[in-house]
Structures are given as structure tokens and as C-alpha cells.
Structure 1
Amino acid sequence: MQRPITLGEFIVENQKDFQYAKGELTALLSSIKLAGKMVNEKINKAGLAAILGKMDSQNVQGETQARLDIIANDIFISTLKNRGEICALASEELEEYVAFDEEIHRNAKYVILIDPLDGSSNIDVDITVGTIFSIYRRVSKIGEPPVKEDFLQPGIKQVAAGYLIYGTSTILVYTTGNGVNGFTFDPGVGSFFLSHPQIRFPEKGRIYSVNEGNYIHFPEGVKKFIKWTQEFDENDDRPFTSRYTGSLVADIHRNMLMGGIYLYPQGTTAPNGKLRLLYECNPIAFITEQAGGKCSDGNQRIMEIVPRELHERAPFICGNSYLVEKAEKFMEPC
């Protein structure tokens, strides 16, 4: 039986597909997988190491931080900094971006945006969580200090994006614009192995993922779409099944493999939507489009939105192209 290919081998073999292939992507993804292993270990031991629960502190969005939020954030920053392939990093947990001033970083061509622990409110009840990352080429002059504009780029400028999902197994999924591939971590060997080659959304899906506790606050078009998914139609394979975990990575990963749609629209409790454009929407949109799906804010393509600030929020609809287009149709002005 042929040995499965490792993540490192896969990156090297496919580096020609990366438009800026000079070894930087290999080093960056190597740092991400290393940090992911460390976070995975912390999560698996969380109940024994007294690192569950909340902190007294809040992040920039005013959300109470979990202990593992801070631990994961520190792990990713220190690991990514050590390789010298990025000049700066922005995290959902930090108000401002972090610029690296050491000589090794001055000529770095990339910046990374990261959500270190997506769905961390689920940690204490042992539900799947994840990490989301997004990589851009800097727009500032190489050799000079990075600037905020290096991060305020539309999603179409991403050169790579991905996520780690910490569940029954730990899986790293990423794209560089040439399809989506997933790699499962084997803790016995300590390596990620290709387990989900060329992931594609099924043509049809029967899952809708939305926090229906916010239903009363949703725009009328979203309410109509949800009602549509619940109606019986044997030709359209309805009604759908509702599945929502509160962990973006978990819901997107399931829907991408099984077929479905995820919605986090705007409402009176989140007038601009809740998800962060740079840390969540754009990287997930890049992956989704590369897997044959579609992402929208209900009106326009997510990856074409020009961000104005680091922690900007956006409404988010993501999934099978047919279902996203159907939702957009319901949301059109009368």
C-alpha cells in the first residue's frame, strides 16, 4: 500500500502552482502547521491543564476572551515570527497589527491575518473549534516598515488562505488559488497527511446553518429564504436539515463536504453582521470559491469588498452556489 503524501511533500510538489513560488509559502505553511500542532495539544489537554474558562479581559470587539484565545494567539504570533517570512501580523484578538522590526523580517514580502481560535466559546463544552488564516503580499515597499494598508486589501488579493479544524481529528485545509486540499494530523507520527484531495462542494445540499435565535432580527429576505428551506418540495429535496454549532470553521467544513449554506446576516443586534471581513469572511470565501461554492454579503461578492478598517464586520452568506444565489434572490429589493 502506497504511503500517503505529507503536507510538506505536497507543498513542494505543487509549489509551481503558487504564483510567487520561491520557498516562502513552504516556510509559511510549515510555521502554521507547527503552531496548529501546538494549539491542538493545548486543546486536547485543556480540561487537565486548568486552561478552560474565561478571562477578565476583553478583545478589541468587546468580547470576553477565553484563556485558550490568548494562548493560541501567543503561539501563532511567536511561531510565525520566528521563520522571518512575514513582516507583520494582524490578529482578531489584537487591536492593532504587530510589525516585526528585526533584520530577518525587513525584506519579507508577506503579511498574515489570523483568527487564532475561532469558536472559542465552545471550548468549555468540548465542541469543535478552529484557526483561520489569510496571506497577502504586502503593498508597502520591501525593506521599509509595514503599514496598515498591507492588511486593508480586498479578498481577491489573497495569495493563500486556510483553516485548521480541531475536532475528532485535526485537519488543515488550504488553497493558493489552485483548488482546495485537506490534510489530517496523525499524532502518532506527528505529521499531516493528504486525506481530502481537491475538495468540492456537492452540486446540491440539504443543510442550512444559521443562528435562528436571532431570527426576529433578520432582514425579511433572509426570513423568507429560511422558510423556503423548511418547505416540502420533493423535486428540490426539501425541507432542509438545520445544523449550527456556533463555530464558523466547523459549520463551513461540514457544509463543504456534505453540501449546504451558512448564513450570518445583519440584524439589529449586529447591524453590519458579526463576522470579521478580514479574519473570517475573506479567507473562508477564498476557500469556498476554490471549492466551487460562492460567498456573498447578500448583495455583492465578499472578496470584492474593499476593507476600511482591521476589524470591519460584514454580513456573510456562504455555501453551494445555487443556494447562495437563491438566498440573494430572496434578499433583492422588492
Structure 2
Amino acid sequence: MSGADVVEAVFETVAGAAPEIRESLVGRRRYEAGENPSGEQQLAADVYADELFEERLLALDGVATYASEEREDVVEGADGDYHVALDPLDGSSNVKSNNAMGTIVGVFDAPLPAGGESLVAAAYVLYGPLTTMVTLREGTVTESVVHEGERHVGTADRSLPDEPTVYGFGGRVPAWTDAFADYASEVEQELKLRYGGAMIGDVNQVLTYGGVFAYPALTTHPNGKLRRQFEGIPIGAIVEAAGGASTDGERSLLATPPEDLHERTPVFVGNRSLIERAEATLSA
């Protein structure tokens, strides 16, 4: 299969699984005994989604490996040139409160862990009132509605609005650094707070209305809490392709390859002016 065919097959497989993932949440709101490699307690829904995506994605021609936030190591598949990294159920703690969550996908042409220079496509699924899927391939961001496992294009060339409207900042306020608190105090005077506890829901608000999402370095977690491989790079690439910018506080999320599969990073994505201000404030 060509690279374009592999990417399309990955997207079709993720979209096809989306209704099953959504329906599987019923009865899978309990916590499992184990933790994921980041030390977070796993819901039954996390484990189900991870196993479903592993089975279906590794069955595709051209997909050599599968890696997930929910497992320690990369899983080998058949021969192929492409490597898929997933956060199978981003914001899964929202299952208990019945709030939005999603799936994040990165397709790379180098073995994992791999950086932004090796990313060939990215996507996320948002399980909100509607199931939608935002994809990035060949520099174009497309939003589709997923109905019965099939994508129906809604916006073919998605871009951030020029005028930012919303912001969402993660982490407990007492754990914010002084520099980030200064940045937050400026932003909150200008934009409306929209924060739902699932990165995908918050990023989609920014992509829809313009603004900034951040999960910064914290005094309790100086390297941040989100994973560069599974969240930072795919989402950073989507937002940048939509005309925005990303940073880990110093440089684009795509600029630094992860040294470890589960490496954490601060994450800032949104309108370029707001990201540039964040970098300036954090480096002052």
C-alpha cells in the first residue's frame, strides 16, 4: 500500500471503531486494578479501547507497530513502514461524570518514539453530542461527522478564527508557576474560560472559536503531565496546520523528539499571538 493508502486505512479504521468505543462506555465506568505507564489508574473503558485499536490497526497492511498511552511498550505487527501512536480514550475520567472525551492518533514513518519531523498524519475523534473527527494530512485539516462508522466531511479546510475567544488551562492553580500565573491572569481578562477536563474537548473549543489551551509545567510536575508522543505532537501538528501555533514553553511541540515513549511535556496550542506571549512570559 502507498503511504496515502495506509493513512486513509488508519483513519477509516479509527472512524469505524468510534461508534463501538462510544457504545462500550456503558458498563465500563469502573476502575481496573492496574495503572497505565504514567501511573494513572485505568478505567475498564481505557483497556477496552486500547485493545480494540491495537487489534484493528495492526491488522492493516503497512502498519508495522502500535503504541498507546495505556501500555508500556511498542507492539510489533507485520512488515510495514508506518507506526501508529494513540491515546485511545483521552479524558477517560470524564466517563464517570458523562462529559466529553476523545481519541488521539499520530501516524509516523519512523519507529516510535518519534518526533514531529516523522509525523505524516494526525487525527482526533471527539465523543461529544455528535461524534466528530478532525484529520490532518498533507497540510490540510478536515473536520467530519462520524455516523455509523463513516466520515462525512463538514469543513474541508479547517482553520482557527483570527480573533481568539476562549481559553482552557489545566493543573491545580496552587501548582502553577509564578510565570504561568502571570500569563493566565492576562489571558483571563481577555477571553472566556472553557475547560472540561479532556484535552480533546478543550482543544476543539480553541479550534472552533480561537484562543488557547495549555497544560503547563507545574511545581508538582515540572515536566508537565501530557505525553509528547501521544498528545503533544499530534495535536500540535493539527493546530499548526490550522494556522495556529504550539509550544512546550520554549519551542514548537514538533521540534523536540521524545527520548522516551511516555515522556511528558508542557503543552500550549492556539492562536499564534497567544502562544508567542506565553513563550515570552515563561522565558522572562
| TM-score exceeds 0.5 | yes
What is the Cα deviation at residue 216 of structure 1? 2.3
* Equivalent in 161, 173, 177 of residue 215 of structure 1: 173
Counterpart of 2:118 (choices 128, 144, 157) is 157
User: What is the alpha-carbon distance in structure 2 between the residues aligned to residue 131 and residue 230 of structure 1?
Assistant: 28
C-alpha distance in structure 2 between counterparts of 1:172 and 1:191, whole Å: 10
Please report the RMSD computed on the Cα atoms of aligned residues, expressed in angstroms: 1.5
Say which SS state the counterpart of residue 262 (structure 1) adopts: strand
Q: Give 1:300's aligned residue.
A: 251
SS of structure 1 residue aligned to 2:238? helix
TM-score normalised by L of structure 2: 0.95
Alignment counterpart, residue 96 of structure 1, candidates 61, 73, 76 = 73
- The one-letter code sitting in structure 1 at the alignment partner of 2:102 is G
Of 222, 226, 229, the residue aligned with 1:271 is 222
User: Contact (CA 8 Å) 1:34, 1:79: kept in 2 or not?
Assistant: no
- Listed one character per residue, the Cα deviations across residues 1-51 of structure 1 (whole Å, up to 9, x for unaligned) are xxxxxxxxxxxxxxxxxx943x222222222222223212223xx1xxx22
Partner of 1:198: 157
- Asked if 1:252 is matched to 2:203, the reply is yes
Structure 1 equivalent of residue 29 of structure 2:
52
Give the secondary-structure state (helix, strand or coil) at the position aligned to 1:77.
Answer: helix
Q: CA deviation at 1:89?
A: 0.6
Q: Is the 8 A contact 1:163 1:174 kept in 2?
A: yes
Matched, 1:83 2:60: yes
Alignment correspondent of 1:14: none
Q: Say yes or no: does 1:113 pair with 2:85.
A: yes
Equivalenced residues, count: 283
Matched letter for residue 215 of structure 1: V
Task: Determine if contact 2:105/2:122 at 8 Å carries over to the other structure.
Answer: yes
Report whether the alignment pairs 1:173 with 2:134: yes
Distance in 2, matches of 1:81 and 1:202, equals 37
TM-score, with structure 1 as normaliser: 0.81
The DSSP-based 3-state class of the residue aligned with 2:217 is: coil
Structure 1 residue 52, shift from structure 2 partner:
1.5
Q: Which runs of 5+ in 1 are unaligned?
A: 1-18, 139-149, 232-237
Query: Which residue of 179, 200, 212 maps to 1:261?
Result: 212
| Deviation sequence 1:40-89 (CA, Å, 0-9, x none) | 2223xx1xxx2222111111111110110000001101111222321111
Matched residues, percent identical?
29
**Residues 306-325 of structure 1 deviation map (CA, whole Å, 9 limit, x = unaligned):** 21100000011111111111
Q: Runs of 4+ in structure 1 displaced over 3 angstroms?
A: none
1:324 equivalent to 2:275? Answer yes
Q: Which has the higher strand share?
A: 2
- Residue 219 of structure 1: CA displacement? 2.2
Residues 152, 307 of structure 1: 8 Å contact kept: yes
1:63 alignment partner in structure 2: 40
Counterpart AA for 1:86 = V
